[in-house]
Structure 1
Amino acid sequence: MIGLCLGLTGAVWAQLPISHFTLAWNHTIEKIRWEEDYRVTETGLVLEEARVRGNGAGMAIPEEAWLKDGSWHYHPKLLPLQPLNLGRTPEAGDYQLCFNNQCRAMSQWVGSPTSSQPFIQLWTCKTGSKEVQ
């Protein structure tokens, strides 16, 4: 089975046997929640929908976005990402990984963000275990 790997430059720090997830965080300046829904595929992570609760510094809402339940929703048109590169520092706070109707800090699987390791990558990988329920 394929799933989600977390780590850096091919070194696996954690594996999650999931087929889809939401990556969520608060914008470092505006403190506005941002969410992106990904599907895990053989060719990479497919960004299916994104949501943001407002706009501000570096947060332009796309013209095709629609407002629903207090968030702007839109469908980014990107090729599968393999890997997805994320900046991760103590000053910015942690990302959340959400799946199976529950959100958890990324630090649950890979430890807290540190200044000495300010990046992390997410990619599709073979997990060898059943999907997390």
Structure 2
Amino acid sequence: MSTCLAVGAAVLHLTAGTFTLHWTHSIEHVAWEEDWTVLPDALRLDQSRIKGSGAGMEPGQDAVLQGDWWVSPGHLTVPALTLAASGATGQGWTFCADGACRTLGADAGPPISIAPCPS
């Protein structure tokens, strides 16, 4: 059984029901990754990883340094994610699921919403 996820105007059917977002902070140039699980009516953050720190990019209090990454368990459930697409950062987000990755929001445009498909 697959999980339905709306990403912008696209509808994806995820076999594992999970995805990872990766991006680099536009000012601090710090890599950030988040692992998410798609629930029937929400998205749950399972883990975040920050490769360093900087203004607004401090690891959480419960973060543990593993190699070059500060790793924190997730403590967040949200109905949807909204990704700004300014086109000014030179790159967007890398969205990975089911062994495939794609870039989101690299070019200027409207915000990109990621949410479970309406039931």
TM-score bracket for the superposition, by shorter chain length:
0.7 to 0.9
* Contact 1:5–1:14 under 8 Å retained in 2: yes
Cα distance in 2, alignment partners of residues 100 and 73 from structure 1: 22
| Percentage identity across paired residues of the two chains | 30
Q: Matched residue pairs, number?
A: 115
Gaps of 5+ in 2: none
CA RMSD of aligned residues (A): 1.9
- Map of 1:103-114 to 2, 5 A cutoff? 103-106=101-104, 112-114=106-108
Q: Cα offset for 1:126?
A: 5.8
When residues 69 and 38 of structure 1 are mapped into structure 2, their CA distance, relative to the original with a 3 A threshold, is same
Cα distance in 1, alignment partners of residues 67 and 96 from structure 2: 18
| Structure 2 equivalent of residue 5 of structure 1 | 6
Q: Cα offset for 1:106?
A: 2.2
Gaps of 5+ in 1: 8-12, 128-133
When residues 64 and 22 of structure 1 are mapped into structure 2, their CA distance, relative to the original with a 3 A threshold, is same
The TM-score with structure 1 as length reference comes to: 0.77
Equivalent residue in structure 1 for 2:75, among 71, 74, 77: 77
Equivalent residue in structure 2 for 1:47, among 22, 28, 45: 45
Q: Which has the higher contact order (CA 8 A, sep 6+)?
A: 1
- Map of 1:84-95 to 2, 5 A cutoff? 84-92=81-89, 93-95=91-93
